[in-house]
Amino acid sequence: MSTAFRSCFVLSGFILAYFTYLLLGALVFSAIERPVEETLKSNLDSLKAEFLNLSCINATALEAFLEKVLKANKYGVSVLENGTLHTNWDLASSLFFANTMVTTVGYGHTTPLSDGGKAFSIVYALIGVPFTMLVLTACVQRLMHPLTYGPISMCQRRAGLQPRAASVVHFIVLLVLVVLFFFVVPALVFSTIEETWSFLDSFYFCFISLCTIGLGDFVPAEKPGQRLRALYKISVMVYLFVGLMVMFLVLRTFHKLADVHGWTAFFQLPSYEEEHEDKEPIVEREPDDESPEAEKASIKPQNPSSQVSYNSINR
């Protein structure tokens, strides 16, 4: 009973911490962004007033026009002169769109307009998201050997370090390499190719995409008149996929590190650990011949790397 109580306690502690964190974020964002918004609003007001003064249009006609423009813009259709040339749904762009969907990044710069498209997206996402997670887990599991276990055991053998120290050293090196090659270098590349992006913007874009948040305020290859658009989009796709895999790898390595240091035992919700053994799974594996293996798997110690369930993907 005490463990159940303790788990409830821990859970409510987390919820409270989460709320506080959100509140803090809200306050900071509000404080930073609101003044900028005010400026933009007043600029827009004056622009509209100017426009109306100069010309013979009345306000309602302009409003109606603007509404239509905005509606079109929401669909990614630009009314500007050079905007009619490219389409958002050629093969490369559709591929990019499908990729952002299954990796759950979801920029939103193009969204399905038709009812058929929306219905298809629902089904596509429901199947594609677990599918992608499966692939990424498989790849990461495979990559763990040369990239994590190998170097760590090498460290232990050559340098004679303890497992704990070796894993820490390895993790730091991995982190530095990942930040360098998957954030800094691509950010440089993006800031060169996209003229309106600064280095910070590109770095922000890389981060937001690789965490699969995908706000969509920056999307590469969207400039009208972009050269080699298809190639650019496809290389961005590849970068996102590989980057996602690497993020999972980093998280999984961190998990192993935490395991080695015993942190996971500390942070785990206590009910999880103890009750696991005697809880019967609701859904036994569909084929019954898997059950002996299942027991073997469940007895395995807390080794996150043995966890294959697709959802145990570290990002």
Partner 1 sequence: MAAPDLLDPKSATHNTKPRLSFSSKPIVYNSGDDCDTITTVMKWKTVVAIFLLVVLYLIIGATVFKALEQPQESTQKYLIVQEKINFLSRHACVNVSELEDLVKQVVLAIRAGVNPSGHPSNESSMWDLSSSFFFAGTVITTIGFGNVSPHTKGGRIFCIIYALLGIPLFGFLLAGVGDQLGTIFGKGIAKVEKMFVKWNVSQTKIRVTSTVLFILFGCLLFVALPALIFQHIEGWSALESIYFVVITLTTIGFGDFVAGGSEIEYLDYYKPIVWFWILVGLAYFAAVLSMIGDWLRVISKKTKEEVGEFRAHAAEWTANVSAEFKETRRRLSVEIYDKFQRAAYIKRKLSSELGQNPGQDMMPCKRTLSVNFTDELEKEGLPTLTKNGSLYLNGLTPDFPDRGEISIIEHLK
- Interactions with partner 1, residue window 229-248 (CB under 8 A): none
Q: Which listed residue (84, 153, 162, 192) binds partner 1 by CB under 8 A?
A: 84
Q: Which listed residue (118, 153, 157, 176) binds partner 1 by CB under 8 A?
A: 118
* CB 222, CB 93: distance < 8 Å: no
Q: Which listed residue (142, 173, 180, 242) binds partner 1 by CB under 8 A?
A: 142
Q: How far is CA 20 from the centre of its chain?
A: 23
Tell me: does residue 25 bind partner 1 (CB under 8 A).
Answer: yes
Tokens 């309106």, located at residue: 196
Tell me: does residue 154 bind partner 1 (CB under 8 A).
Answer: no
Tell me: does residue 225 bind partner 1 (CB under 8 A).
Answer: no
**Min separation Cβ 186 and partner 1, Å:** 15
**Min separation Cβ 171 and partner 1, Å:** 13
Alpha helices in 262-314 (DSSP H): 263-267, 270-275, 291-299
Tell me: does residue 267 bind partner 1 (CB under 8 A).
Answer: yes
Q: Which listed residue (43, 153, 162, 192) binds partner 1 by CB under 8 A?
A: 43
* Cβ distance to partner 1 smaller for residue 161 or 310: 310
216-249 as b/e: b if 16+ CB within 10 A:
bebbbbbeeeeeebeebbbebbebbbebbbbbbb
**Min separation Cβ 132 and partner 1, Å:** 6
Measure the CA–CA gap between 160 and 158, rounded to whole angstroms: 6
Alpha helices in 75-157 (DSSP H): 91-102, 115-144, 150-154
Tell me: does residue 181 bind partner 1 (CB under 8 A).
Answer: no
DSSP output for 21-67 = HHHHHHHHHHHHHHHHHHHHHHHHHHHHHHHHHHSS--HHHHHHHHH
Contact positions with partner 1 (CB under 8 A) in 93-112? 94-95, 97-102, 104-108, 111-112
Tell me: does residue 153 bind partner 1 (CB under 8 A).
Answer: no
**Min separation Cβ 80 and partner 1, Å:** 6
Tell me: does residue 48 bind partner 1 (CB under 8 A).
Answer: yes
* CB 134, CB 310: distance < 8 Å: yes
